Structure 1
Amino acid sequence: MKDFLLNDADKAFRMQAREFLLRVLAPRAQAIEDQQDWDAVKDVVRALGEAQYLRLMFADLYRGPLENPGLTHATILSEEASYLNYAFETTIATALSCAYPLHRYASPAIRERYLTPILDGLSIGAIGVTEKNVGSDSAGMETRVEFDERTREWVINGFKRYISNASVADVYIVYGISNPAVPASKGMSAVVVPGGHRGMSFPRNYAFMGRRGCIVGEVEFVDCRVPADHLLGEQDNAFRIMLSMFNFERAILGGSGLGVARSAFDIATAHAQSRSAFGQRLGAKQLVWDWVAEMSWRIDAAELLTYRATKMYDSGVAGKDLMKQAAMAKLVATETANFCADRCVQTLGGDGLTKEYGRAEQIYRDARAMTIVGGTSEMAKYLIASRDLPDLKPNL
């Protein structure tokens, strides 16, 4: 771990965040994994809020010791949390993805009502984008968000699925089509919906192979009404809001991938140096040397790409000018997490398949989601290539 792109203040923050999470998250990580203990999750979220860690993205609201907080520091936090428990990190990453558009696009009154509790660690946020026929192709959204002139309310009808923090979130940002007569990029709106609001229900939560402790499920809206001031930004202009959120989310996922990859690497290298086979240490075998070398260079590459993207963001680069770099960070870091998790299990052999001999099998299950959530690896490649081949439109 070289931290080439991080300055001394960033490195000091990493150590501070690491020590904090070892004290607050590490003792609860097993309960989150084995018992899906939501109370443990909330305890850590509350502690993060009290320590100002949930305000790192919002310099105007941050009251901690950092002089220039930003996405770089939020990503470092994501990396260190994912090293210990990726399911927990998913919860706070989703909350930040909710906080971001609230901070930037909500009216002052709505910001104060919904954003402040999230940043204080007192409430949890969620984002409603994915639907039955909508994943990477968010323009195909079927949820409707229509304005009732008579009551001055936004009326939401639709069905969202694979929603992190579904049923436990205190506030939801819901994206839907407000003008079906035009392309989604010109007819999508986003509204804020408080958790448990009338017209909102939660048909079921999913049981995933990994990320145990992260609650993910379905949210249905049937004539769900919120006041006019719960609109984010302007009517029909939420596609731009969503795209700006994705750049931020992909960089954060770069940090998540790094944390998982580093955790797998440390377990694998420790085993390779302590386990003997055929009269010598396992790590002395040429094949294992090859695995370790590839894990190492992949992690360094992911680190450089991830913190390049965050430093660009913090310097003011946004929109399409950041899309390629954020996609590269997400792609390489999450693919690296999967590679390292796989090589870790293989290095440990039978021990890597059991819960009795450590976290390798958990990391393997957790990592598999990373190349799918927040945009698939295939979608990331499309975004990268679209910047390099601007005169072509790939056949998706």
Structure 2
Amino acid sequence: MRDFLLNDADRAFRADVREFLQRELLPRAADIEDRQDWDAVKHVVRALGAAGYLKLMFPDLYRGKLEHPGLTHATILSEEASYINYAFETTIATALSCAYPLHRHASERLRDAYLSPILEGTAIGAICVTEPNVGSDSAGMETRIDFDAARNEWVINGFKRYISNASVADVYIVYGLTDEGMTAVAVPKSANGIGFPRNYTFMGRRGCIVGEVKFDNCRVPADHLLGERGGGFRIMRGMFNFERAILGGSGLGVARSAFDIATAHAQTRTSFGQPLGCKQLIWDKIAQMSWRIDASELITYRATKMYDAGADGKALMKEAAMAKLVATETANYCANETVQILGGDGITKEYGRAEQLYRDARALTIVGGTSEVAKYLIAGRDLPDIRITL
């Protein structure tokens, strides 16, 4: 039985959000994929905001039908959006990852200025962590965030890359080093000293804008600090737990989409006088995909239910990492096997979305922390008395 850990309210929410995305996202998915149409992306983001779906993570702000909204429902949204178009889902997941620290750690004035527009769908957010020499190893960060007491401003100098929503986001959560340690500040796109050297071209996720952000004596007011000086690592850890659970939903959506294509083809394509699905080797592929999807769903929604029950920080790190690892590896497995089952049809755009899913899935085991880093986080809990080296 699929959705075993979900209750009736969760299932009703899934049905509502699926209908919404079929109406708003599906008709625009081809334009996002083929023309990288940012206007189409923005239209759906605005529609999500107007419907209240971007507030699911914030019960104090949510005004919808759910009695207890939370990460479970944000992950369902992620799963259903990724089923249709993972590039679009990346845009909203990144915006919500920006909203998360704003909601928890920003002043009321900053929340009004930056958080509210993101949740209403009228603005986009971004997160700036990765650097040329820094990926999952955030301890090697080189970006500096220094305080100018004379002007009561933070001064940011550094270079970030592989930033989702770079150049199109309205506000950026920037992580860098102060004398007290890693620190986070909010930087609006309008700030002096922020620049966008280039955007990247990826093999997949077409329509999701990813690029570089440069800070050259970029200044923001003192109240743009999130939390406290030196508190950035704790903020980042909470953000990554949220992001990795959401990525579990992303992986599930891509895997389910591929599986549905594969099973439909196996039942309708004739080979050697029989449906393709009659072949034992095809049974094995379908069975392998099916159990992996079920396992991914159970692990992902275990993590979200734990979060909604109050777990976070170190208490959720292993479970969030497991959700991200298993679901994104499953997405890659299912996308690859679906292309193989479809044969020539699987590697052409003219015969469906299998090749798009194959290209899109490949990013999932890299973004938000690689599969290797997820394994490190998992083993770190199970081997608490030793220091594991990457």
TM-score between both structures, scaled by the size of structure 1: 0.98
Q: Secondary structure at the match of 2:217?
A: strand
Counterpart of 2:76, as a letter, is I
Please list every run of 5 or more consecutive structure 2 residues that lacks an aligned counterpart in the other structure: none
Deviation at 1:173, TM superposition (A): 0.5
Give, in whole Å, the separation in 2 of the partners of 1:160 and 1:173: 11
Distance (Å, rounded) in 2 between the aligned partners of 1:159 and 1:118: 24
1:196 Cα deviation (Å)?
3.5
Q: Which moved more, 1:187-196 or 1:16-25?
A: 187-196
| Structure 1 stretches of 4+ moved >3 Å | none
Distance in structure 2 (CA, Å) of the matches to 1:197 and 1:61: 28
Partner of 1:386, secondary structure, is helix
Spell out the pairing of 1:151-166 with structure 2 (5 A cutoff): 151-166=151-166
Task: Decide which moves more: 163-172 or 195-204.
Answer: 195-204
Taking the aligned partners of 1:165 and 1:123, their CA distance within structure 2 comes to 11
Q: Cα distance, 1:198 vs. partner?
A: 1.1
1:69 maps to 2:73: no
- Confirm whether residue 107 of structure 1 aligns to residue 101 of structure 2: no
| Residues 1:198 and 2:192 aligned together | yes
Whether 1:311 aligns to 2:309 is no
Letter in 2 for 1:163: I
Counterpart residue number, 1:35: 35
Residue 136 of structure 2 is aligned to residue 136 of structure 1:
yes
**Cα distance per residue 1:186-214 (max 9 Å; x no partner):** 60111110014210110100000000000
- Alignment of structure 1 residues 1-396 onto 2, 5 Å: 2-179=2-179, 187-396=181-390
Which amino acid in 2 is paired with 1:356? Answer: E
SS in 2 for 1:356: helix
Once superposed, what is the RMSD of the aligned Cα atoms? Answer: 0.6
Could you tell me the TM-score, scaled by structure 2's length?
A: 0.99
Q: Higher mean Cα deviation, 47-56 or 1-10?
A: 1-10
The amino acid across from 2:276 in the alignment is L
1:347-383 deviations in Å (ceiling 9; x for gaps): 0000000000000000000000000000000000000
- The count of corresponding residues between Structure 1 and Structure 2 is 390
Q: CA deviation at 1:279?
A: 1.1
Code of the residue aligned with 2:360 in structure 1: it is D
The aligned counterpart of 1:182 is: none
- Name structure 1 gaps, 5 residues minimum: 180-185
Question: Structure 2 counterpart of 1:283, which letter?
Answer: G
Q: C-alpha displacement at 1:392, in angstroms?
A: 1.1
Q: How much does 1:275 deviate?
A: 0.3
2 CA distance for matches of 1:318 and 1:121? 26
Separation of aligned partners in 2, 1:392 and 1:255: 32
Task: Tell me the secondary structure at the aligned position of residue 147 of structure 1.
Answer: strand
Corresponding letter in the other structure for 1:78:
S
Distance 2:327 2:190 in 1: 36
Q: What amino acid is the match of 1:354?
A: T
Letter in 2 for 1:246: F
Post-superposition CA distance 1:64-108 (Å, at most 9, x none): 111100000000000000000000000000000000000000001
Q: C-alpha distance in 1, partners of 2:189/2:5?
A: 40
In 2, Cα distance between equivalents of 1:234 and 1:176: 13
